[in-house]
Amino acid sequence: MATVAKNFIFYISTITISLSYCYFISSKFPKGIYRFISLIPIFFIFTILPLSCSFVFTTAIAFSFTTWLTNFKLIRFAFDLDQSPYHPSMSLDKFIIYTSLPIKSKNSQISSPKNSRFKFVFQSIIFTLLVRIVLYCKGRVHPNFISFIYGWLLFLQIDIVVSMLNFVLHVLTGLELQQPSNQPYLATSLQDFWGRWNLLVNHAMRYTVYKPVVYILSNYEWAPLAGVLASFFISGLMHELYVYQLARVAPTWHMTSFFILHGICVVVEMIIKRSLRGKGLRVPDIVATLLMNVFVVVTGVWLFVPPFIIGRIDVEFLKDYTSVADFIMNKLLIDQYA
């Protein structure tokens, strides 16, 4: 735990110093290529920063919030994409908080504390049960079943981490993080699924990839389709980098293949919907939801989960979980009643 504390202090200090540089130095350059060039050292620092983490779990959080989300926000800041809100007209502390964290906008509905606590407890219990199932059943059941559970663990992990950070952030600042997902398992189409899943990344990709591509190709009718494909392709590359930072092994390109496949399927779905518009043809929602979930699970088990197993990320994650669980039992519970 002492190592985690040292890494945390180093992480927060690096974020603060780097974003202070952006606030005081980079902001003096005119928006565009010159400001972007001034930010290159920060992009590099934020890309390698997760490598300083000692555990898979903390590396995953650092990559998600810094290498991905914060770097993409700084791209918006560099070119003022879509009138970037990350502007030095803010105070320094607000610039750092809003750039380094996915803060919920003022117009968004604030979550009920009671509902948030219930959701956190419920998800934590399910998460713990699923981990225990993996620890007990791994090697005894079909690997695809374990891969299916890994998919749910990833979904729950994102929600649980955001809930924990939300509690701390709300106590310290009164602010709240964006909702990480919106019941993606209830989606009635693949396009709907990706509009509900991992909204933090969804938001970043929309403003730094999708909208710029659509703007550049605005003279073409197929510009939105190109924007979708570009977003999925970049997302695939970012996931390859994510797996590399967690496993420190060469990419297998499973992730890129997964996201390109889904991007193509979403585009095909959009074209079909456009051609059927106004013809009154519609698949019942329950059937559409079932088909969507089957497709996501099958492609996820086939392409998304294998890199985590090949790189033994799952083994390290389970080891980290066991260490934390033992620490809580030995230091917090047993010592309390000793």
Of 129 and 323, the structure prediction assigns the larger pLDDT to 129
pLDDT at position 1: 62
pLDDT at position 88: 79
pLDDT digits (tens, 9 = 90+) for 138-162: 888 999 999 999 999 998 988 888 8
- What's the average model confidence in pLDDT over 278-295? 88
Of 81 and 20, the structure prediction assigns the larger pLDDT to 20
Q: Which of 61-65, 76-80, 85-89 is predicted least confidently?
A: 85-89
In this prediction the pTM is: 0.91
Of 118 and 190, the structure prediction assigns the larger pLDDT to 190
pLDDT at position 276: 81
pLDDT at 89 over 90: no
pLDDT at position 83: 82
Average pLDDT over all residues of the chain = 89
pLDDT at position 114: 64
pLDDT at 110 over 70: no
pLDDT at 305 over 80: yes
pLDDT at 260 over 60: yes
pLDDT at position 297: 96
pLDDT at position 332: 54
Of 117 and 211, the structure prediction assigns the larger pLDDT to 211
| Dihedral sign computed on CA atoms, order 129, 130, 133, 134 | negative
Distance of CA 181 to the CA centre of its chain: 10
Q: Residue holding tokens 């700084």? A: 74
pLDDT at position 106: 62
Return the domain boundaries, the chain: 2-101, 113-323
CB 150 within 8 A of CB 308: yes
- Tokens linked to 149: 């559970």
pLDDT at position 112: 60
- What's the average model confidence in pLDDT over 86-93? 86
- What's the average model confidence in pLDDT over 77-83? 90
Residue % of the chain over a pLDDT of 90: 62
pLDDT at 219 over 80: yes
d(CA 291, CA 300) in angstroms, rounded, equals 14
d(CA 56, CA 53) in angstroms, rounded, equals 8
pLDDT at position 116: 76
d(CA 14, CA 79) in angstroms, rounded, equals 23
pLDDT at 333 over 70: no
DSSP-based three-state secondary structure for 269: helix
pLDDT at 59 over 90: yes
Task: Provide the pLDDT confidence category of residue 336 given band limits of 50, 70 and 90.
Answer: low
pLDDT at position 108: 55
pLDDT at 331 over 90: no
pLDDT at 29 over 70: yes
Residue % of the chain over a pLDDT of 70: 92
Strand partners, 103: 177
pLDDT at position 321: 81
Alpha helices in the chain (DSSP H): 2-24, 33-48, 56-62, 71-79, 92-100, 113-137, 143-173, 190-196, 199-205, 211-216, 223-247, 254-276, 285-299, 306-310, 313-327, 335-337
